[in-house]
């Protein structure tokens, strides 16, 4: 009697397993097999027409570092290059560029920090830089935080012979009608630069 029950139970389990397998197989084959394929009207790769329709404004532009607004050499054969002077909506003007040591030996820009007592802790930096608006007859000093740290680059470790480093300095922005200013620092000649508006 127990043998009969065991056989019935096995048959029932086998029938359930087969039925489940058939249901899953039918569900899996229910699609038309085109899920992974692109539809006739669409294409995953751009056609020649798509490439032609692409606006030219999206083409890559030359990096801003390649532009030069001004370049001056002074002191111990130090060259200062100004690459950009951008006015932003917050009322600031960010000036940036590079400095190259061409004197053949180590150079530390210790005199570039300026003479102001408040800036005395800004060693080897652009803290002493200023902008002169000749048309507006006004001088703009570099911005600094509440602890007297300039909003500018600090040249940690100085410059080895032939070394070049990038820099930035922030100032209050001159009025919009002032499009040109002179960037000045230490004993370097003034660098006349043109201001551009940020996007």
pLDDT grade for 89, boundaries at 50, 70 and 90: confident
Contact 113, 128 (CB under 8 A): yes
Structure pTM?
0.65
The rounded mean pLDDT for the chain is: 77
Q: Can you give the residue ranges of every domain in the chain?
A: 64-197
Buried b (16+ CB within 10 A) or exposed e, 166-188: ebebbbebbeeebbebbbbbbeb
Instruction: With cut-offs at 50, 70 and 90, classify the pLDDT of residue 95.
Output: very high
- pLDDT over 80 at 59, yes or no: no
> How many percent of the chain have pLDDT more than 90?
48
Query: What is the rounded average pLDDT of the residues 179-198?
Result: 93
Residue 164 has pLDDT above 90, yes or no: yes
26 vs 166, higher pLDDT: 166
Number of alpha carbons in the 13 Å side-chain half-sphere of residue 28: 6
C-alpha distances (whole Å) from 69 to each of 23, 66, 142, 166 are 75, 10, 19, 15
pLDDT for the residue numbered 8: 52
Q: Which pLDDT score is estimated for 199? A: 63
- pLDDT top residue among 23 and 187: 187
* 108's tokens: 């530390």
Query: Which architecture, in CATH terms, is 64-197?
Result: Sandwich (2.60)
- Give the pLDDT confidence of 28-57 residue by residue, as tens digits: 555 555 555 555 544 444 444 444 444 443
Q: What is the pLDDT of residue 63?
A: 41
Task: Give the HSE-up count for residue 105: Cα atoms under 13 Å, Cβ half-sphere.
Answer: 1
């Amino acid at each position: 009697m127990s043998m009969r029950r065991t056989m019935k139970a096995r048959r029932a389990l086998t029938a359930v397993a087969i039925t489940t397998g058939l249901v899953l197989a039918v569900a899996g084959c229910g699609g038309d097999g085109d899920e992974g394929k692109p539809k006739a009207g669409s294409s995953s790769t751009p056609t020649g027409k798509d490439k032609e329709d692409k606006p030219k404004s999206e083409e890559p532009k030359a990096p801003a570092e390649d532009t030069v607004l001004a370049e001056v050499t002074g002191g111990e054969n130090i060259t200062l290059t100004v690459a950009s002077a951008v006015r932003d909506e917050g009322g600031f003007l960010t000036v940036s560029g590079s400095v190259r040591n061409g004197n053949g030996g180590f150079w530390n820009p210790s005199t570039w920090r300026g003479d102001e007592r408040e800036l005395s802790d800004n060693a080897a930096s652009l803290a002493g830089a200023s902008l002169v608006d000749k048309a507006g007859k006004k001088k703009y000093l570099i911005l600094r935080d509440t602890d007297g740290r300039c909003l500018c680059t600090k040249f940690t470790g100085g410059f080895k012979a032939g070394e070049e480093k990038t820099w930035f300095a922030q100032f209050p922005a001159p009025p919009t009608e002032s499009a040109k200013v002179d960037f000045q620092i230490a004993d370097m000649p003034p660098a006349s630069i043109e201001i551009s508006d940020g996007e």
